[in-house]
Amino acid sequence: MKQYNHTLYACYIGYITQAIVNNFAPLLFVTFKNTFGIPLEQIALLITANFGFQLLIDLFSAKFADKIGYRKMVIIAHLFCTAGLAFLGVFPYVFSKPMVGLTIAATLYAIGGGIIEVIISPIVENCPSEHKAAAMSILHSFYCWGQMGVILLSTLFFLAFGYANWRVLACIWAVVPLLNSIYFLFVPVIEPKEQKQEALGVRKLFSMKLFWIFALLMVCAGASELTMSQWASAFAEEGLRVSKAVGDLTGPCLFAVFMGAARVYYAKKSQTLSLKKFMLFSAVLCIISYLMASLTPFPALSLAGCALCGLSVGIMWPGTYSLAAKHCPGGGTAMFAMLALAGDTGCVIGPTISGVVSGWFGGNLKIGLFIAVVFPVLLIIGVRALRRNLKAAENRA
């Protein structure tokens, strides 16, 4: 098992890379608006482009991953992330329309992020371990620590060197996936052809009722998490009128800290806690957090709602992965790819709807965040449906 420790470390950095490509650009939404004159409704398309292309990659990765191999795919993913982050600070100034340049850069790192989302989880799932659910939760906690690091270090950089130098910081962040692509050249990776159990095909997965319940949970998990994390910075700065540094540290940064804490907590208590009950409790807490952020007239309580949302969504994504791996054995790369596809669908739908609705009301992000309450409500319905189906299956057995 010790030889696979480096595999896990590389996977952890892979999720930190995922956090960089998903959370660095949102810190600059207001900067893009002021620098390039792009309205928030159009900036919301950057979120759509990022997760939309991740969604497309999810759709095709399952087919290519088994043929190309996990190691080659994950290295390619990191190189796309490197290119996208580096060009984020270049392309807006190269193209006559800055939005076109930003979208192309976002597309490049979205391709890398989509592959990482599909490949990293099965790599960890295949590593020798007795506690798979705990390992998956720890893996996903590194997304949170990466998100926190992006916000903290970016804020410190901006305070020291000013927002005008954001292009330099984009290139600095590009170094992380570049170095990790080299790391993945040397760590042991169990490839699909080396797995003992034959993986289920996509058609077989689609014929399983349980899979569609898990897909619903992933859509709701992605939408619940990304709506708040993508818009929290702009919400604090534009909607609550607090300074960018204060808003980023008390909104999206605390969101990431609490989300990571929830995942680490479950990893430690996974042997005694009911994952389904924990997810139900988290969904109720998520509803409360969105209502706090969107309805309270006090900025401090709104920011507390942003942070609390991180605690509530922490277990949703990795918890669904763990339940699917347990109740759909042999799902393999296809299952993780299709679940990632569902999750990224939620990542597109949630933030995009919030951004568009906010635009309808003159850029009022509070209304946009209020609409997002529907996603944790649907997650509660999904978990209850899962429990009924599993109970029915036990009775038939």
CATH of the domain at 285: 1.20.1250.20
Mean of the pLDDT values across residues 287-315?
89
pLDDT for residue 83 is more than 90: yes
pLDDT at 196: 56
Report d(CA 2, CA 241) in Å as an integer.
50
Exposed, middle or buried: residue 60 (CB in 10 Å: 0-12, 13-18, 19+)? middle
User: How crowded is residue 23: how many other Cβ atoms within 10 Å of its Cβ?
Assistant: 25
pLDDT at 270: 77
pLDDT at 11: 94
Average pLDDT, the chain: 85
Most confident of 93-107, 130-144, 229-243, 359-373: 93-107
**pTM for this predicted structure:** 0.79
**How far lies 7's CA from each of 130, 208, 260, in Å?**
16, 32, 21
Our count of domains for the chain comes to: 1
pLDDT for residue 2 is more than 60: no
Q: Could you tell me the two tokens for 48?
A: 């759509």
User: How crowded is residue 226: how many other Cβ atoms within 10 Å of its Cβ?
Assistant: 30
pLDDT for residue 269 is more than 90: no
Q: Quick one: pLDDT band at residue 130, thresholds 50, 70, 90? A: low
**How far lies 177's CA from each of 142, 148, 190, 284, 344, in Å?**
14, 17, 21, 36, 20
Give start and end residues of each alpha helix (H) in 296-331.
299-313, 316-327
Closest to 3 measured CA to CA, from 188, 198, 244 = 188
Nearest 5°: the CA angle 347, 349, 351 is 70
Mean of the pLDDT values across residues 223-242?
78
**How far lies 376's CA from each of 22, 204, 286, 311, 324, in Å?**
21, 28, 6, 13, 19
Do the Cβ atoms of 87 and 105 come closer than 8 Å? Answer: yes
pLDDT at 194: 65
pLDDT at 326: 82
Q: Quick one: pLDDT band at residue 197, thresholds 50, 70, 90? A: low
**Locus of tokens 């922490």:** 314
Mean of the pLDDT values across residues 318-335?
81
The backbone torsions φ and ψ at residue 220, rounded to the nearest 5 degrees and listed phi first, read -70, -40
* 109 or 230, which is more confident: 109
Closest to 256 measured CA to CA, from 141, 347, 384, 344 = 141
Amino acid at 289: S
pLDDT at 396: 65
pLDDT for residue 1 is more than 60: no
Mean of the pLDDT values across residues 122-131?
78
Sign of CA dihedral 167, 33, 56, 19: positive
pLDDT at 165: 92
- Domain of 387? 2-396
pLDDT for residue 397 is more than 60: no
SS3 content of the chain, % helix, strand, coil (to 5): 85, 0, 15
